[in-house]
Chains A and B, each alone.
Chain A
Amino acid sequence: TQLLEQSPQFLSIQEGENLTVYCNSSSVFSSLQWYRQEPGEGPVLLVTVVTGGEVKKLKRLTFQFGDARKDSSLHITAAQPGDTGLYLCAGGAGSSNTGKLIFGQGTTLQVKP
């Protein structure tokens, strides 16, 4: 069974601070995705990483896929209150035909003004 361990599960920081969220597994994933979810809504895709060692940037967010494609990280620079939300990593599991996504436990981020 492929599992994704996401840490930390809760994070409360002050505006302007930096933070990193980790997503680790003992299994290799063909791709990893990061989502952000607001309360009462569905997850919204932030990024998809496919190649080992890949780094993608989305404004103040930096995503990295491990060389072995077993782990990923999300780094937020100078966090703002608008970044508050639930961040989820998800990896493709099962055969390429099923294409199901398995989610990590999620990181609840609170950025205080």
Chain B
Amino acid sequence: GAVVSQHPSRVICKSGTSVKIECRSLDFQATTMFWYRQFPKQSLMLMATSNEGSKATYEQGVEKDKFLINHASLTLSTLTVTSAHPEDSSFYICSGRQGSYGYTFGSGTRLTVV
């Protein structure tokens, strides 16, 4: 089946630094990837939609200058959290879309900003 590899699985960074999270579709081409954020015991909140070769579309309330998304190829999308602060600590999950109903999720990245 389709697999999305997400790295790193856990990262701890200092406040003010930037962190990059990668998502790769291993056996399919994901023209569209989605980035979600999840707080403890809560559901997934869509942050942005990235399409290969074009600018990402951000959901209302999500700072595009803080959460930089790049989807340079059909198999790789990256999310960079810039100037991270403790309130950015969360579980970030990506999802690659294949076909009309095929969504494959990465295993998530636990970001802790200290």
Using CB atoms and an 8 Å cutoff, list the residues of chain A in contact with chain B.
6, 31, 33, 35, 40-45, 48, 50, 88, 90, 92, 96, 98-106, 108
Given contacts A101-B95, A103-B43, contact A50 B105 (CB under 8 A): no
A44 partner residues in chain B, CB cutoff 8 A: 105
Using CB atoms and an 8 Å cutoff, list the residues of chain B in contact with chain A.
4, 6, 32, 34, 36, 41-46, 49, 57, 91, 93, 95, 97, 100-101, 103-108, 110
A80 to chain B, nearest CB (A): 22
B104 partner residues in chain A, CB cutoff 8 A: 45
A-B CB contact pairs (8 Å), 19 listed? A6-B43, A31-B100, A35-B105, A41-B107, A41-B108, A42-B4, A42-B93, A42-B108, A88-B43, A88-B44, A98-B57, A99-B32, A100-B46, A101-B95, A101-B103, A103-B44, A103-B46, A104-B43, A105-B43
B96 to chain A, nearest CB (A): 11
A45 partner residues in chain B, CB cutoff 8 A: 103-104
The answer to whether B101 and A31 have CB atoms under 8 Å apart is: yes
B6 partner residues in chain A, CB cutoff 8 A: 42
Bound: A31/B93 CA distance, A: 21
Which residue of B49, B93, B103 is within 8 Å of A33 (Cβ)?
A: B103
In this complex, what residue of B is CB-closest to A96?
Answer: B100
A-B pairs with lowest CB-CB distance, top 6 = A42-B105, A106-B43, A103-B44, A103-B43, A42-B107, A48-B101
Bound: A90/B100 CA distance, A: 14
B7 to chain A, nearest CB (A): 13
B57 partner residues in chain A, CB cutoff 8 A: 98
The answer to whether A100 and B101 have CB atoms under 8 Å apart is: no
B20 to chain A, nearest CB (A): 18
Bound: A68/B46 CA distance, A: 25
B53 to chain A, nearest CB (A): 14
Given contacts A40-B108, A41-B108, A42-B6, contact A99 B100 (CB under 8 A): yes
The answer to whether B105 and A43 have CB atoms under 8 Å apart is: yes
